Amino acid sequence: MYTLTRNKFTADGIFGELEEDGELVAYTLEHAFEDGTTWNPILPAGKYTLQYGPHQLEHGPPFMTYEFPKVTSWDGNKHTQILFHAGNFNSDSKGCVLLGTQIGTLYGRPALISSTVAFEKFITRCAHATTIEVEVVNP
């Protein structure tokens, strides 16, 4: 079972860590949505079974990744196609979970570093399993 623990909720994104059995797998970044007083991710805390399959973002070629099941977010809206994928900035996600080898700064903005490397290592680590279990935890 993987555990995604969020530890920083800001306008620049929701930052966290993805671990498996206590071992750090990658740093994470999700898009931050403002509700007037706080910053929220689309994906609620909870336990999920993710399905492996083909996907395509608005820009770029098709790729294989894991998708969270349909969820209802903090604002009551239902969301699908919440994926793990590569990306550096808050703006690279519309609710998906981005992966990186570290959290840093790119072009003066908070970002994930070496995202493609982290994403490829994660997919290899999962060994293309049909499903994986992920628990998402807020502090």
**Sequence ranges of the domains in the chain:** 2-137
| Structure letter (DSSP) for residue 125 | H
According to the model, what pLDDT value does residue 59 have? 81
Name 138's Cβ contacts closer than 8 Å, sequence gap at least 6: 6, 45
Q: Given a cut of 90, is residue 36 above it in pLDDT?
A: no
70: helix, coil or strand? coil
Mean pLDDT of 15-21: 97
The Cα–Cα gap between 64 and 84 comes to 10
The per-residue pLDDT for 74 is: 86
**Dihedral sign, CA of 81, 69, 7, 115?**
negative
* Cα distance from N-terminal residue to C-terminal residue, the chain: 19
Q: What is the pLDDT of residues 67-104, one digit of tens each?
A: 999 999 988 999 999 999 999 999 999 999 999 999 99
Residue 126 has phi, psi (to 5 degrees) of -75, -10
pTM: 0.95
Q: What pairs with residue 10 in β-bridges?
A: 13
Q: Tell whether the model's pLDDT for residue 139 goes beyond 90.
A: no
pLDDT of residue 128: 85
pLDDT of residue 13 exceeding 90, the answer is yes
Residues 93-102 have pLDDT tens digits of: 999 999 999 9
